[in-house]
Structure 1
Amino acid sequence: MESTTDTRPVEPATSLTELLRERAASEPDAAAITVDGLAPLTFEEWNDRADAAAHGLLAFGEGRLRRIALYFGGLDWVGYAVAYHAAQRVGATTLHLNDTMPAEEVAYRLAECGVNGIVHGNGLTPPVDFSGWTAPLGELEGGLHRPLVRPVRPDAVADILYTSGTTGRAKAITVTHANMMFGRAKPTIDTLGVSDHLLAAMPLGTSSSQGTASFPLLSRSTLLVAPPDAAERIAELVVRYEVGSMMITPATALALVRARVHERHDLGSLHTVTTASSAFPPAVARDLLAMLPGATLAMAYTSLEAAPAVTLNVFDPARPLSVGRPAHGTEVRITDDLDRPLPAGEVGEIWLRSAAPKRRYLDTDLDKKFNVGEWTRMTDLGRLSEDGELTFFDRSADAVRTGTTLVSSIAVEAELYEHPAVREVAVIGTPDRAPGQVVTAVVVLTSPERLADVRAFAEERLPAAERPARYVVADTLPRSFLGKVLKRELRQRFGAVDASRS
C-alpha cells in the first residue's frame, strides 16, 4: 500500500499574517498577547477572529479595501491586533492611527494615504468628515468563521508607517511584506533576550505598535502590554509575571526612575531592558541599572526608513553615547556635506544599508533625496571608531551651530541630567546677534531656585563652547503622542534673539 504522507517541503511564511496562521496551527492554546494582566489572547483565537473580521471586510467590496486605516486607543491591543491581520488577509495596506493624535493630523494622514475605509475600536467614534466607509471591529467579527487564505505578493505594500515627526512633519513610509519578513527581524528580536513574557510599554495605533504587536509571532515570548505612562503598574506587572525582558521608551525609563518603583517592588526578574527609539540619557541609564542590578540596557539604533538595517548596543557607562556596532548584514558609513565618506573619528551624517528590500517614502521626491542606491540617509550625525563602533552625535536638525563649533545637544543634555535638580532638559539652538546660534537649555527643575546651582555645575563640567548661554525654566517639556520631546516647538517658542547678549 502506498503512503499518502505529504513529504513536500513547507513553504516559509512570506507575511506576518501567514506566520500567525502557522503559529495557530502549531501552538493553538499558547498565549500570544496579554493586556495589563487580563486573560490572554491565544494564537488560535487571534487567528480565528482575524479570519472572521476579514470575511466581514469583504462585504465592502474588493475595490474599497485597497488601503485601510486602523483607529484604536487606550489598551485595546487585542482589537488592534485582530483588525491588523483581518486587513492584511484581504490584501489591504494598513495605516495606523490612534485617538490621541490631533484631529488635523489624522485627517492629513487619511487624505495623504488615500484611505478607503477605517476599522476602529468598538468604543471609539471614527474621525469626522471622513468620506469612506467605517466599521467597528465588533461588527466585522460577525463574518464567516472559516479560513480566508490568499496568496501574498512579497513585494506588495503591507503598511504605510509614519516617522515620529519630532524634527518636522511626520513622513509616510511604505513597507513591503518582504521587508517586514526579512530575516524575521532577528537582530532586533535578539536584543530583547529570552523571556516567557516580554513587557512592552508602548502607545497603541502607531508605527511602533505595529512592530510591537508582531513580536509574539517572531519570538517565543508572550507579549505583555502595559500603559506607557503608569510606572507603578509596569512594576506590578513585572513582579506578577516575573518578566525577564522589557521594552520601553526613554520617557518611560525616566518615569520609572523618578517613581523609584524598585523601593516597593522586587524587579529582580528583569535581565534585559530595551529601547528602539532613542538612547537613554546616561544619568537615567545609570539610575535604571542601579534599580535593576541584574539587568542590561540594550538599544537597537535605526530609523523607520532604514529598517531592518540596525546597530546594536549594550549600554556601557564608559561609552554612554555609543549606539554599538552594525548587526549582521548591516553596513554603516559617515559622510561629509558632499556625501563623501569620512575617516574614522570625524563627525558626519550617518548612512545605513542592508540587503533587505528597501522601504520607500510615499513622497517620491523625498525618496530620491534620502534613499541613495542601497543606502538610506539617517539625517543623524555620528562618528565611527577604527573598529567600527558608532557614536551618536545628534540629530542634524537639533545640533547647535555656534559661530565656530558644532555642539551636540545630546552631550550637553547628558551633562545637565547629572545634576540632581534637573528633572528634564532639552537643549536647543536659538538665534544670536552674532553669526550662529546660542546654546539654550530648557530645564524642568525640582525647584526653580536651583537654577544658579545648575548653571554653576555646567560651567565646571562643560567646555566653554558647549556651556548654555541661556537657560529657560519650564514646568514641562512639550512631547508628541509618542512621548518624544518636540524640540522644534521649543525653538519656535524661544527662538527670539536674547537681548541680554547684545
Structure 2
Amino acid sequence: MTAPTDAPVPVPPVARTVPELLAWRVAVHPQQVALRVHGVAELTFAEWWEAAGAVAGALRRRGVGPGDRVGLVFGARDWIGYAVAYCGVLRAGAVAVPLSDRSAPTQLGYALDHCRATAVVHGQTPAPTGLPSWPVTLLRGEDDTGPDHPVRPDDLAQILYTSGTTGRPKGVKASHANLTVGAPRHPRRLPLAHSQRFLHAFPIGTNAGQTMLFNALTARPTALTLPGFTPARFARLIAAEGTGTVFLVPSIAIELLDSGALDGRDLGGVHLVGSTAAALPPAVATRLAAAFPAATVVNYYTSTEAAPAQTTMIFDPARREAVGRPVGGDLRIADPQGQPLPTGEVGEVWLRSPHPRSYHRDASATRATFRDGWVRMGDVGRLDADGYLYLTDRHQDVIKSGAFKISSLEVEAALHEHPGIAEAAVVAVAHPVLGSVVAAVLVARPTTADTDLALPAARSCDTDLTLPAVRSCDTDLTLPAVRSFLAGRLADHQLPARLLLVRQLPRNEGGKVLKRQLAARFDD
C-alpha cells in the first residue's frame, strides 16, 4: 500500500483499531523504516502491512477465527517477526497474547492454558507447547492474504500477563481502543520528532515492550533495538548519529553508568532519556542528567493494568523524589475504601484512563483492582499542592517495625547515594519484639579487576549468583559502615538491622527486583 505524494493527508477516526492505525502509517509513510533490530533486519511500514496481511491469511486458513487467543513466543532477535505476527493476529480478528521465549516451559504453559489459547506463533525458537505452533517466517511467506476480519475499537486485542512479583501472573485484557487512545491523527503531530531513531532494550512480553511496539507504530523516528543487551553495544548505539531518544529501566541505567561504556562518548545528540518499569532512584536520575547534559530525563510511572494512563516526571533537583503528574488520565490518593483523600495525606494510588483494562478469568481480582475506570496501583503515596505524586512504597513492601511504617523506597534511595553501592533492595525480616526490621541487600559498585580479592566470610558476596570477571566486592560495605553513612539521611528506625552483599539482584523480565526471593535469603 502506498499513498501519492500529492494526496490529501488521511484523517483517521478518533477511536481506532490497531490495524487501522498501521494502515494510516502506511498511507502517510509507506517507505519509512518503522523498526530495526541492529545487525539483524529492518521493516518499513509498507512491509509491515504486507507481511501482517500474509500472517492473517495464513492463520485463517489454519482455522484461527475471530476472538481466538494466539500465543506469540518471541525473543530479542525476533522483534520484527513479533511485530508482524502481532498485527497479523489482530488483522485476523484474533487476540494476541505476547510471551517471551525466555520464560520457563511451566510459565508458558500456565499463560497459554489460562488464556485458553488455540495456537502459537513463534520466532526462531519453537515454543514447547502441545498447541498448533507455526514459525512466523512460514506464515508470512504465504501470499494469499484475503480481506481482514472486521474488528471494532471495543473488541479485545491483547492479553498481556503481569510479571507475577506478588503472586500468580494475571492476564490483563486490553481493547483496540485502549491500545490506540491518544495516538496521533496528523503526521505533523507524531511524537519523538526530535529523533531519527529511538533506542530501547526492553523484552517482548512486558508492558514496557508493548509500549515500544506502539511507539514504533505512532512515533516519527525508527524504533531501534538490539538482539542482546551489553553496555558497550548499547552505548555505541546511543552515541550514533540520529539517536535522539533512549528508553531504559533503572537496572540498565545503573549498569550503563557503572560500566564506563558511556565515558568519552559524545552524547549531545540525545534529547530525551526515559526510564520506566520501576522507580528511578533520585541518585541514579542525577547521574543520568550529568551523563546526558543535552537531554531531558523523564521518569514514567504506570502499570500493565493502568496503561496507557501514566504519570511523567521531568527530573527536577527540587523534586527529586516525585514521580510526576498524570498524562492521559486522572490520578488520586484514596483510603482503603477507594474514597479520595485530601492533598498531602498518604493513601493508595489510583490511576484512571479511558477504555480501561481488566483481568482475564479473575472476577474477584478485577473487582479489587478496577473500579469505574479507576485502577488501584498497589502503591502507597501522596500528592503535593501542585499535584505531583510521591510514592511511599509498594503496598506489600511497607515495613511495619514496632510503631513505625517504613518506606523501602525511601531507604533504597538513601542507599543509592553511597558511592560504593551500585544497586540496593530493602525488605522486611522478622524480629521477635518489633515484628519486622529493615534488611538491605546490596550490590557493590565495581572497584577492581582483581577477582582473587578475598573477603571475610561474614561479609562475603553471595556465591550462588554469577559475577562478571571485572567485578569484586567493596569490603567497606559493612553493616556499621552503611548505618553510619545513612545516619544523617534516615531516622534510627529506618536504618538496616541486617545486611547482605550479593553479586546481582534477582530480577524478572521487566527489570523489577524479586523481593520475595531476597527476603527468603535472610531465613538462612
* TM-score (normalizing by structure 1): 0.91
Structure 1's 443 and 403: CA in aligned 2 closer, same or farther, altered over 3 A? same
> What letter corresponds to residue 230 of structure 1 in structure 2?
T
- Aligned with 1:174: secondary structure? strand
Match of 1:182 in 2: 181
What pairs with 1:67-466 in structure 2 (closer than 5 Å)? Answer: 67-121=69-123, 123-127=124-128, 130-146=129-145, 148-184=147-183, 194-226=194-226, 229-327=229-327, 329-354=328-353, 356-362=354-360, 363-446=362-445, 447-452=473-478, 453-466=481-494
Question: How high is the sequence identity, in percent, across the aligned residues?
Answer: 41
Partner residue in 1 for 2:470:
none
Letter of the 1:304 partner, please give it.
Answer: T
What amino acid sits opposite 2:292 in the alignment?
A: L
Q: Which one of the candidate residues 43, 47, 50 is aligned to 2:49? A: 47
Cα distance change of structure 1 residues 308 and 7 upon mapping to structure 2, 3 Å threshold: closer
What is the CA-CA distance between 1:151 and the residue it aligns to?
1.9
3-state secondary structure, aligned to 2:504: coil
1:315-359 CA-to-partner distances (Å, cap 9, x unmatched) read: 1123222011122x52221122343322222211101113x1110
SS at match of 2:322: coil
Q: Which has the larger displacement, 445-454 or 433-442?
A: 445-454
Letter in 2 for 1:395: R
Q: Secondary structure at the match of 1:420?
A: coil
**CA displacement at 1:191 relative to structure 2:** 8.2
Q: How many residue pairs end up in the alignment?
A: 484
Q: 1:199-243 CA deviation, whole Å, 9 max, x = no partner?
A: 112112433322211212212111011356311111111222431
Structure 1 residues 342, 8: CA separation in 2 closer, same or farther (over 3 Å shift)?
closer
Is the alpha carbon distance of 1:407 and 1:367 closer, same or farther for their aligned partners in structure 2, counting shifts above 3 Å?
A: same
CA positional deviation for 1:448: 4.6
- Matches of 1:451 and 1:119, distance apart in 2: 48
Q: Secondary structure at the match of 2:519?
A: helix
Q: How far, CA to CA, are the matches of 1:489 and 1:66 in structure 2?
A: 36
* Offset at residue 141 of structure 1 (A): 1.8
DSSP 3-state at the match of 1:460? coil
SS of match in other structure, 1:484: coil
Deviations 1:103-158 (A, max 9, x none): 2111110110100000011x21221xx33211011211232255633321111110
Task: Report if the CA contact (8 A) 1:239-1:265 is conserved.
Answer: yes
Cα distance change of structure 1 residues 442 and 391 upon mapping to structure 2, 3 Å threshold: same
Give the secondary-structure state (helix, strand or coil) at the position aligned to 1:450: coil
State the Cα distance separating 1:457 from its structure 2 match: 0.6
Which one-letter code corresponds to 1:450 in the other structure? D
Letter of the 1:110 partner, please give it: L
In the alignment, is the contact (CA less than 8 A) between 2:65 and 2:94 conserved in 1? no
**One-letter identity of the residue aligned with 2:502:** A
2:50 counterpart of 1:24: no
Q: Secondary structure at the match of 2:20?
A: helix
SS of 2:180's partner is helix
- Which AA in structure 1 matches 2:290? A
Q: CA deviation at 1:411?
A: 0.9
- What is the identity, as a one-letter code, of the residue corresponding to 1:124? T
* Code of the aligned partner of 1:269: G
Paired letter, 1:472: L
| Offset of residue 20 of structure 1 | 1.3
Kindly provide the amino acid, as one letter, of the partner of residue 364 in structure 1.
A
- Could you tell me the TM-score, scaled by structure 2's length? 0.87
3-state SS of the aligned residue for 2:166? coil
Q: Structure 2: where are the runs of 5+ without partners? A: 1-6, 446-472
Q: CA deviation at 1:279?
A: 2.6
Letter in 2 for 1:458: L
